[in-house]
Amino acid sequence: VMSARLVLENEEVVRVAITLQNLQEETLKEASSHLCWNHFRHAPVAKEVWARTGEKWTDFTQYVSRGPYRHFYFGQSPGTQAGPDITTRALFTEYEMGNQTFGVFIAAPSAKSLMSNVNWPCTDINIDFGSLGPGESATRLLFIGMGLHNRDYWLDVAEKLLQLPE
């Protein structure tokens, strides 16, 4: 059973607490949930997707796994990724609106992977629940934010949110 509770952190950020409960008699192994924040109806968003590699911004287009898909898996051995190691479990996108910047982010402390698709603009995240024995449950957090801010602003917000206990 999967359930979600949405809470507004403020007028620009939504916190989603996702709970997965195993009602089966067998262990759920490596349980995860893939969430797509589809920006297709707003085409300028997610045309350019950014990630953090240490102190630098990295263009997520270099992580092509099967075009037009881009993937980054946390915890993979060195050399298996298409680009440098991403250090913040979040994706960011922004675009200019006249003299303002509109930005978006998706982040999760338990992100197992990040993904995007340039043909159907999106920022996706795969949340890891681990293995759940019979009767066990786990709750994981997801954060989505958007507003008139650039990705540097959203990085500060996301990094603070990613420190919250699950």
Render pLDDT for 40-72 as a digit per residue (tens, 0 to 9): 767 677 778 999 999 999 999 888 887 788 889
Give the tens place of pLDDT for each residue, 120-159.
Answer: 888 999 999 999 999 999 999 999 999 999 999 999 999 9
- pTM for this structure? 0.91
What does the buried/exposed string (b/e) look like for 22-45 if buried means 16 or more CB atoms within 10 Å of the residue's CB?
beeeeebeebbbebbbebeeeeeb
Output the pLDDT for position 113: 93
H or E stretch including 137?
A: strand 137-147
